[in-house]
Structure 1
């Protein structure tokens, strides 16, 4: 199932994902030709973790633009993960229409999860690696090389 595939790719990209805490940030820049990949832990409780994965580029105006920026819910007990939202220069889409996650936009759920699965495969192919990096605290974003 796609949700298990997404979970597997995420935990391959970030093996210690389940140990991360709210506010943790990771960044990967495998080569100058690819946009850096950012991971932020937005929420965490006993049953799930919500993260954001994003690429940003500098617009000609000087603003940093998300392309894309996705919120993802990770459910470790089910070894599953799903897209919650997608944002880029052109707009914002969400899967759930309410905070309780009871009203679902089925079309968006299918499209965003298919996109997320393909994006994660592309991220892996580009050589992004979010393992062995120190997390950041209090908004200070600093990176340590893997293995150091």
Structure 2
């Protein structure tokens, strides 16, 4: 993740935490020296995969990150995922490589590198449309 952020010109210090597919689905990445437990029939169980735009996936990511959802900025390159984050009351910013505003987005980023310039340091304030689901969970940004 660090290398990807460096290539994008983003200082990783602006994030409290980054939650990604591997973070959300660690059982899919068990090393060869850590065998998965076999079921009673001897077959290996298939772990459930958690994916966006499922609200459950976003709530789980908030829980994994362990941060205040009211100080969370949900970044994604999918309008469906942005809408799911917004439905939970998160601040949202799509990054599609061009400055395009979405009805579900709080901010429009020209590039991921413009994050610091675009997002004001107000993520500590409660978003206007925060929902109970977001208030009971938690994720990410230091600005």
The structure with the greater share of residues assigned to strand is 1
Greater Cα radius of gyration, structure 1 or 2: 2
The structure with the greater share of residues assigned to helix is 2
Given the two structures, how large is their TM-score scaled by the length of structure 2? 0.29
RCO higher in structure (CA 8 A, sep ≥6):
2
